[in-house]
Amino acid sequence: MRGWLITFAALAALIAVSLLLGAASLEGDGWLLLVSRIPRTMAALLAGAGLALAGVVVQQVVQNRLVEPSLTGAPEASMLGLLAVTLIAPGMAVAGKMLIAAACALVGMIGFLALAKRLPRDDAMLLPIVGIVYGGILGAIGIWFAWAEDLVQYLGAWRLGEFSGVMMGRYEWLWAIAALAGLLYLVADRITILGLGETQARSLGLNYRQTRALGLVVVSVITALVLVTVGAFPFVGLVAPNLVARWRGDNLRANLPMVAIGGGALLLGADVIGRAVRYPFEIPAATVIAVLGAGVFLWLLHAAPRARHG
């Protein structure tokens, strides 16, 4: 109980800082708060929570805690889908773009899983490295197409996530993440069994293929929602689940709310840091989280062999 109180107090303080940062220097703060600051804060919380939960699902599917959505090629595959939409049907509604981006993210993750099956499981560091290479290849393809069609600026907006353009009416799709979080909580026990591997999961009566497909669809939809609305953010799905697991253990159902809160707080904190470091200018939240997340990722890579030998 004390841990929850401390967590909520820290989150409330972070939200207050986000809402009030720079307010003293602007006129019409009440209108600005309603139209810009509250949507921006909620967008960061929802995007971070969604990416953290997606990270949990991916880690259970591949049985590797060093993997997260941005290391599966899902964001790069989504960008390829969005590039195709921009070229073929630029006037398509946002809902259509999200569906296509989600479908492409799913295809990208299926390709990653096909690679994962061919890798030895005794080296936990090999899979994320392959994921980085795989995502890099898909990203390079996207950059080539964007350069050929003079769409590099569009691709850059999706690749570098930030919240400066979030306003009322431009982020509401992210609320779908709350519904997806509820769905994941309902099937949390199945996701836990999924992490035991196909053989053991089937022996416990789990429909392995159906549960895995559900998890991948949820991850794809979350990736598309975040990408289309605010862009891509690395490492959120890696840092939050690992830190919560090291603090609270491996009870997935009990940990999911804390993982969601941790992911939201992590991304909101990155946004606040980016706004405060060079105020009144901004550093994109994706840049901040990339620096912080890379440090945690290297720490996890260093700790993984020690934990295995221990």
Determine the structural domain holding residue 233 and report its residue range: 45-304
Q: How confident is the model at residue 250 (pLDDT cuts 50, 70, 90)?
A: confident
- Is a pLDDT exceeding 60 seen at residue 305? no
pLDDT of residue 309: 41
Q: Which residue has the tokens 């309603």?
A: 34
| 7 or 77, higher pLDDT | 77
Is residue 186 situated within a structural domain?
yes
Average pLDDT value over all residues in the chain = 86
Q: How confident is the model at residue 307 (pLDDT cuts 50, 70, 90)?
A: very low
Is residue 23 situated within a structural domain?
no
Amino acid residing at 4 = W
Average pLDDT over residues 172-196: 91
pLDDT of residue 55: 93
Is residue 65 situated within a structural domain?
yes
Q: Kindly report, residue by residue over 96-153, the tens digit of the pLDDT.
A: 889 999 999 999 999 999 998 888 877 778 888 899 999 999 999 999 998 988 888 8
Residue 194 maps to which CATH number? 1.10.3470.10
pLDDT of residue 310: 41
pLDDT of residue 280: 77
Average pLDDT over residues 244-267: 87
How many domains does the chain divide into? 1
Is residue 18 situated within a structural domain?
no
Task: Please say whether the beta carbons of 82 and 159 come within 8 A.
Answer: no
Is residue 90 situated within a structural domain?
yes
What percent of the chain has a predicted confidence (pLDDT) above 70? 93
Q: How far is Cα 223 from Cα 265, in angstroms, rounded to an integer?
A: 18
- Is a pLDDT exceeding 70 seen at residue 297? yes
pLDDT of residue 304: 58
User: CB neighbours of 74 closer than 8 A, spacing ≥ 6?
Assistant: 105, 106, 108, 109, 112, 219, 220, 223
Is residue 6 situated within a structural domain?
no
Average pLDDT over residues 199-215: 89
Is residue 215 situated within a structural domain?
yes
Is residue 29 situated within a structural domain?
no
- Is a pLDDT exceeding 80 seen at residue 187? yes
